[in-house]
Amino acid sequence: MNFTQVDIVILIVYAIIILCVGFYKSKSTSGESKNSKDYFLAGKSLPWWAIGASLIAANISAEQFIGMSGSGFAIGLAIASYEFMAALTLILVGKYFLPIFIKKNIHTIPEFLEKRFNSKVKTVLAFFWIFLFVFVNLTSVLYLGGTALDTIIGSGDGSLVLNCVIILGLFSAAYSIWGGLSSVAWTDVIQVILLIIGGGITTFIALSELTPSGSVLDGFQYMFEKAPKKFNMILEKGDKGYIDLPGIAVLAGGMWIANLYYWGFNQYIIQRTLAAKSLQESQKGIAFAALIKMIIPLIVIIPGIVAFVLFKEDPGVAASFTSEEGVIMNDKAYPWLISQFIPTGLKGLILAALSAAIVSSLASMLNSTSTIFTLDVYKPLIDKNASEKRLIFVGRISGMIAIVIAIFVAPVLGSIDQAFQFIQEWTGLFSPGILAIFMLGLFWNKTSAKSAIIGALSSIPIALFFKVAPKGWSDLWIFPDLPFMHQMGLTFMLTVLIMFVFSYMHNNNNRDEKGIILTENLFKTQKAFNISAWIVVLLLILIYTTLW
């Protein structure tokens, strides 16, 4: 791809602005030294619009722009169920989870487990999350981001992947590790504006290239006529992608396991809601994020479908998506569109938008990794009397170690077909058990600490039981092609059953001493939140009834 001086200047300006804002927000506004609350929770001062923007920026990354666009190419708009149902999930999290979390005055998700159960449950899951963030989340975002940039600015042969991985990792670390959550959240406001504008431009130009008229509306109609099956929101058996999105399960099945875990109990997502000025401010922020979620498919999935239409019509395009071994590389859809259709002068802006998506997610993951290690591992297990200055120092060092490990591991991932689906599927090994622990811990006050540990330890073997046939048993295995969403649903239900039995035995059907007492007033929400919730629900009804 040819970059002009204008493109390069735009990239440089983007980098300078992000670094300047990040370092500026790292300063203490009071003139005093930062304490751990300032560093890890932005001093509990974030307004609703910053929370909403930061939630989206933390979520949207190479997984969406590259991986989900690739799934749009391969499967179609059905993959948008992750985004649409996430909007509804955010509403539920804001109404039913946040009031309890904020009432408990927690800094981290593992801390909630300590207050609800005990320190053993907290420690087990704290180590799990650190491992997941470093070896799955950070590495996958780095690798996908590096691959995307290699395709756009290089030859696409992988020669620049490692260099891009290093640059992305160090750039995100530069301001996030020094400034903490405040730097991450405020730079996220800029990054989410940039990624929406850049993504919107890519969609606009891609659609305009489909017809001689250059009209976006004509392009959309042409795309729908040429690939009508790509617009089925509910897949049926026999449809390509059914194994990943098995019919009604996206509305009333395993997708709820993935979404509730991710949006409700994932530290690098929920951390910015814990940094709000108040519960009401946090709920407004999460409702704002839900509304933005409804438009994300337009900028990350539609381009993938455009690429598919061109792929089917032009043998030359098809060759660009086919490897030497004859494998169709779905995840090349978004980078290929940028390289082919974005004019010079705008390429720098689009590349800055893609970089913003990658960097903002990396920064959020780094900050949350260091938060969990410092507050849930280092302070309680290594140095209970650590000073505020020491905690911030440990947070910075642990963040740097995490990004260095991730940079080394990322290139090992190699080529992944439909990376978004790959990440969802393997995260699905762990999410059902964690969700079961939290849901019972939040809403059933008889759940015991012992049952939580047993649930955490038993859920992974249960998930593997449904996923992997024992050696030599493949012909006898009864779940050879069970969609992973069904795997998650079954794992969740069995883990809940196990926890229910052990809780009943341990507490003799009495309330656990740390059980949460729920009241009607706890879940009351303001008018602005309720209006946003109804808008999301009505839009979802319209989308799924129209595109069923």
The set of residues, in sequence order, having a beta carbon less than 8 Å from that of 396 and lying 6+ positions away, is: 177, 178, 370
Q: What is the pLDDT of residue 260?
A: 93
Q: Is the pLDDT of residue 189 over 60?
A: yes
Q: Provide the residue type at 333 as one letter.
A: A
**Torsion over CA of 349, 150, 422 and 175, rounded to 10 degrees?**
-60
Q: Is the pLDDT of residue 178 over 60?
A: yes
- Residues 33, 389: contact at Cβ < 8 Å? yes
What 3-state class would DSSP assign to 259?
Answer: helix
What 3-state class would DSSP assign to 394?
Answer: helix
Q: What is the pLDDT of residue 101?
A: 92
Q: What is the pLDDT of residue 2?
A: 64
pLDDT band at 133 (very low <50, low <70, confident <90, very high): confident
Q: Residue 273's closest CA among 11, 56, 486, 120?
A: 56
Query: Can you give the pTM of this predicted structure?
Result: 0.89
Radius of gyration of the chain (CA): 23
Mean pLDDT of 499-528: 85
Mean pLDDT of 390-408: 91
Q: Is the pLDDT of residue 85 over 90?
A: yes
pLDDT band at 1 (very low <50, low <70, confident <90, very high): low
What 3-state class would DSSP assign to 276?
Answer: strand
Could you give the percent of the chain with pLDDT greater than 90?
27
Measured between alpha carbons, how far is residue 139 from residues 157, 178, 208, 368 in Å?
20, 21, 35, 15
Helix H or strand E segment including 169: helix 161-179
**Torsion over CA of 196, 189, 289 and 487, rounded to 10 degrees?**
80
Q: What is the pLDDT of residue 417?
A: 53
- Residues 427, 410: contact at Cβ < 8 Å? no
Q: What is the pLDDT of residue 471?
A: 47
More confident residue, 494 or 67: 494
The most confident of the ranges 239-243, 317-321, 479-483, 489-493 is 489-493
Mean pLDDT of 495-524: 86
Tens digits of per-residue pLDDT, 320-373?
777 666 667 777 788 788 878 888 778 888 888 878 878 888 888 888 899 999
Number of residues in the chain: 548
d(CA 286, CA 529): 9
Q: What is the pLDDT of residue 470?
A: 47
Could you give the percent of the chain with pLDDT greater than 70?
90
d(CA 301, CA 348): 21
**Torsion over CA of 165, 169, 171 and 176, rounded to 10 degrees?**
160
Mean pLDDT of 191-201: 86
The set of residues, in sequence order, having a beta carbon less than 8 Å from that of 158 and lying 6+ positions away, is: 147, 150
Q: Is the pLDDT of residue 30 over 60?
A: no
The angle subtended at Cα 157 by Cα 152 and Cα 163, nearest 5°, is 70
Tens digits of per-residue pLDDT, 456-468?
888 888 888 877 5
Q: What is the pLDDT of residue 478?
A: 57
Q: Is the pLDDT of residue 146 over 90?
A: no
Q: What is the pLDDT of residue 442?
A: 92
**Cα dihedral sign for 535, 536, 539, 544?**
negative
Least confident among 48-57, 426-435, 486-495, 536-545: 426-435
More confident residue, 316 or 112: 112
The most confident of the ranges 147-161, 176-190, 255-269 is 255-269
Angle formed by the axes of helices 267-274 and 279-293, nearest 10°: 130
Tens digits of per-residue pLDDT, 34-43?
677 777 877 7
Domains present along the chain, CATH in parentheses: 5-418 (1.20.1730.10)
Give the pair of three-digit tokens for residue 79.
């993959």
Q: What is the pLDDT of residue 156?
A: 60
Give the pair of three-digit tokens for residue 268.
């690098």
d(CA 366, CA 377): 16
Neighbours of 317 (CB within 10 A): 17
Q: Residue 38's closest CA among 391, 479, 420, 437?
A: 391
Q: What is the pLDDT of residue 479?
A: 62
Angle formed by the axes of helices 279-293 and 527-546, nearest 10°: 20
Q: Is the pLDDT of residue 476 over 60?
A: no
Least confident among 12-26, 116-130, 205-219, 461-475: 461-475
Least confident among 98-112, 386-400, 461-475: 461-475
Q: What's the mean pLDDT when you consider all of the chain? A: 84
More confident residue, 394 or 334: 394
Q: What is the pLDDT of residue 324?
A: 65
Q: Is the pLDDT of residue 29 over 60?
A: no
Q: Is the pLDDT of residue 168 over 50?
A: yes
* DSSP summary character for residue 133: I
pLDDT band at 496 (very low <50, low <70, confident <90, very high): very high
Tens digits of per-residue pLDDT, 288-320?
999 999 999 989 899 999 989 988 887 777 777
Long-range contacts of 275-279 (CB under 8 A, 24+ apart): 275/41, 275/42, 275/43, 275/44, 275/45, 275/46, 275/51, 275/181, 275/185, 276/44, 276/46, 276/47, 276/48, 276/51, 276/102, 277/44, 277/45, 277/46, 277/47, 279/98, 279/99, 279/102, 279/103
What 3-state class would DSSP assign to 155?
Answer: coil
The residues pairing with 46 across neighbouring beta strands, listed in sequence order, are 276
